[in-house]
């Protein structure tokens, strides 16, 4: 059974990578993109989500939330200009209750991008993005959401 579950998860991951969007197993469990929100205040990433049509043994499922923050900064000091890119990732896997085939949850992950400002330089953020990847370990449902 563990081998079968591993194969199902691998198949869902490959299908997800091929399609670039949400994927689920034959049981039709899926994350709802419209009900998924991602935010980052510079120190904590918050991901709110909903998964529907969840059918699992028991009353809970385990969902992995991986959040990556990318920051592009331009720094100047006299005639010197630096373009700096920094990135940080946080990952958490948590058990969430299933109620009437639906999982609703919020994950809060500590996430801080370190080192974007060198000493003596004046810096400004040029671009920042946050990407969350959700995966239900039991159903194989996945979703990538950017903010």
Q: Specify the pLDDT at position 119.
A: 87
Q: Long-range contacts of range 17-26, CB-CB < 8 Å, 24 or more positions apart?
A: 20/144, 21/143, 21/144, 22/141, 22/142, 22/143, 22/144, 23/140, 23/141, 23/142, 24/53, 24/139, 24/140, 24/141, 24/142, 25/139, 25/140, 25/141
pLDDT under 70 in the chain at which residues? Answer: 1-27, 116
Q: Specify the pLDDT at position 11.
A: 44
Residue 10, domain extent: 2-146
Stated pTM of the model: 0.77
Q: Specify the pLDDT at position 142.
A: 97
CATH code of 58's domain? 2.60.40
- What's the mean pLDDT when you consider all of the chain? 85
Q: For residue range 101-118, what is the model confidence (pLDDT) as tens digits?
A: 999 999 999 999 987 678
State how many domains the chain has.
1
Q: Specify the pLDDT at position 27.
A: 59
């Amino acid at each position: 059974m563990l081998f079968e579950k591993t194969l199902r998860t691998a198949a869902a991951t490959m299908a997800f990578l091929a399609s670039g969007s949400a994927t689920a197993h034959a049981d039709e469990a899926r994350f709802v993109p419209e009900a998924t929100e991602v935010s980052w205040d510079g120190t904590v990433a918050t991901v709110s989500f909903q998964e529907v049509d969840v059918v699992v043994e028991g009353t809970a499922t385990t969902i992995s939330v991986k959040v990556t923050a990318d920051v592009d900064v331009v720094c100047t000091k006299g005639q010197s200009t630096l373009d700096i890119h920094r990135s940080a990732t946080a990952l958490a896997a948590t058990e969430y209750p299933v109620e009437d085939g639906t999982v609703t949850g919020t994950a809060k992950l500590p996430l801080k991008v370190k080192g974007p400002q060198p000493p003596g330089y004046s810096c400004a953020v040029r671009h920042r993005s946050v990407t969350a990847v959700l995966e239900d370990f039991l159903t194989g449902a996945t979703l990538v959401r950017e903010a």
